[in-house]
Amino acid sequence: MSFYPPRRTLMGPGPSDVNPRITNAMARPTIGHLDPVFIELMEELKGLLQYAFQTKNALTLPVSAPGSAGMETCFVNLMEPGDKAIICQNGVFGGRMKENVTRLGGEAVMVQDDWGSAIDLDKVREAIAVHPDAKVLAFVHAETSTGVRSDAEALCRLASEAGMLSIMDTVTGLGGIEVAIDQWGADAVYSGSQKCLSCTPGLSPLTISDRAAEVIRNRSHPVQSWFLDLNLVMGYWGNGDGKRAYHHTAPINALYGLHEALTILKEEGLEASFARHRLNHEALKAGLEAIGLSLVVKEEDRLPQLNLVSVPEGVDEAAVRSTLLNDYHLEIGAGLGALAGKVWRIGLMGYASNPTNVRLCLSALQHALAAQGLEVNGAVRAADAVYAAAGQ
């Protein structure tokens, strides 16, 4: 029998709600991955990604796999066996960076910060001073597991001043907050299609600086992964000579979707998208605080598109999520690692970042908390006041 999934409102850590324009785009006729028309689409995609990343990097393309493959692409191309990397960890994904380094035969130097806190720049400076021979400084700009934004510009500057390459994870950042690759001087940056771009999962936008591309071209050892070897992938996505060499069969219809997602982002404009995410975050925050819920992350370090909410004492957090899913077809996320059972992660990403979803989430939370004996009300009213003050 055919599979028909239920219709959900996705307000967890990703994937986010997919814009119907994107699903319609993905239903268009499939053509060959070397068809001249598809090659035109690939060139447009590169330009749209350059807009989203705010970069002129020639090596800007979507990896034909999810964000985790974007991460691995950066590490296996820039690092070789024996190389050292300073890895900043303040959540789950810094730990995955470490896994990439150790599996390719490199040495990982860890800079640890508490989950829910931004990366401590002084700790990074100390690590650089102790390990000046490190080739790479790697960090997560927008940590999906905690809803924390770290100072990417300062971290990229520290790497550059030390003569190191920077690897930056902005899977949850791209399209929702400022990501200014050329201004920050970032060397290797990856994201995901399913967060603030509101596309389906399965693609990882990537951009590589000219400096990092030169390192890739002049490696001493072959890239560990054949599929993710950018020296080969560049031959398919174009390296300026007008020729295309077959590398893999691209996910054609998925790329239609990403093209549409980036077109939507450009139509709205980056600044307008950032402002929309911020306004909906402020409305959600007001509603949460009206019913006694608080955000974990310090205000200056919060991601507006991913909110880490403390679970009140005595509340069964899993039961609340189950009520939201079963009664409202609304998905929010649980905590990970040390935060498991202590927090909810509420996403306001891309197409899902809108007043209707904010009101639905707040109303549903009130209902679920009331079912556990808490007297709560006024959440939607508080959110409406924020929208009214903003003229909406």
Which pLDDT belongs to residue 216?
A: 96
With 0-12 / 13-18 / 19 or more C-beta atoms within 10 angstroms meaning exposed / middle / buried, residue 143 is buried
With 0-12 / 13-18 / 19 or more C-beta atoms within 10 angstroms meaning exposed / middle / buried, residue 54 is middle
CA distance 265 to 273: 7
Model pTM score = 0.96
Extents of the domains making up the chain: 19-267, 270-389
Which pLDDT belongs to residue 242?
A: 66
CA distance 224 to 177: 33
Antiparallel, parallel or unpaired: β 136-140 and 84-89: parallel
Which pLDDT belongs to residue 236?
A: 86
Which pLDDT belongs to residue 237?
A: 87
- CA atoms within 13 A of residue 72's CA, in its CB half-sphere: 18
Is the domain covering 270-389 a CATH 3.40.50.720 domain?
A: no
Which pLDDT belongs to residue 227?
A: 95
Which pLDDT belongs to residue 306?
A: 98
Antiparallel, parallel or unpaired: β 330-331 and 306-310: unpaired
Specify the DSSP class assigned to residue 338: G
- Positive/negative CA dihedral, 255, 330, 140, 298: positive
CA distance 46 to 237: 9
Q: What is the pLDDT along the chain (392 residues), one digit of tens a residue?
A: 999 999 999 999 999 999 999 999 999 999 999 899 999 999 999 999 999 999 999 999 999 999 999 999 999 999 999 999 999 999 999 999 999 999 999 999 999 999 999 999 999 999 999 999 999 999 999 999 999 999 999 999 999 999 999 999 999 999 999 999 999 999 999 999 999 999 999 999 999 999 999 999 999 999 999 999 999 998 888 766 667 888 999 999 999 999 999 999 999 999 999 999 999 999 999 999 999 999 999 999 999 999 999 999 999 999 999 999 999 999 999 999 889 999 999 999 999 999 999 999 999 999 999 999 998 999 999 999 999 999 98
Hey, is 119 helix, strand or coil? coil
Reported CATH class of domain 19-267: alpha beta
